[in-house]
Homo-oligomer: A and B are copies of this chain.
Amino acid sequence: MKPIEILHQYQLKRTSCREGILSVIINHNEALSENEIRDQLESHYDRTTFYRAFKTLIESKIVHKIVVDNQLVKYALDNHITQKKEHAHFYCEACHAVLCLETTPLPKPNLPNGFQANNFEYVIKGLCKKCSPKA
CB 8 Å contact bits of A62-75 with B (1 = contact, 0 = none): 00000101111100
Q: Report if A123 contacts B (CB, 8 A).
A: yes
Asked if A116 and B125 make an inter-chain contact with CB atoms under 8 angstroms apart, the answer reads no
Q: Is the Cβ of B119 less than 8 Å from the Cβ of A124?
A: yes
Indicate whether A111 sits within 8 Å of B132 (C-beta atoms), given known contacts A70-B67, A73-B70.
no
**A124 and B111 contacting across the interface, CB-CB below 8 Å:** yes
Chain B residue nearest to A101 in the complex (CB) = B109
The reply to whether A121 and B123 contact each other, CB–CB distance below 8 Å, is yes
- Alpha-carbon gap, A113 to B125, bound state (A): 15
Please give, as numbers and ranges, the residues of chain B lying within 8 Å of A129 by CB-CB distance: 112-115
Among A106-135, those with CB < 8 Å from B are: 106-129, 132
Copies in the complex: 2
Given contacts A69-B67, A70-B70, A114-B132, contact A109 B88 (CB under 8 A): yes
Knowing A69-B67, A116-B126, A117-B124, the reply to whether A101 touches B111 (Cβ < 8 A) is: yes
Residues of chain B within 8 A (CB-CB) of A104 are 109-111
Which residues on the B side are within 8 Å of A112 (C-beta)?
101, 103, 129
> Chain B residues near A71 (CB, 8 Å)?
70
Extra contacts besides A101-B109, A107-B108, A116-B126 (5): CB < 8 Å:
A67-B67, A103-B112, A114-B129, A120-B123, A122-B123
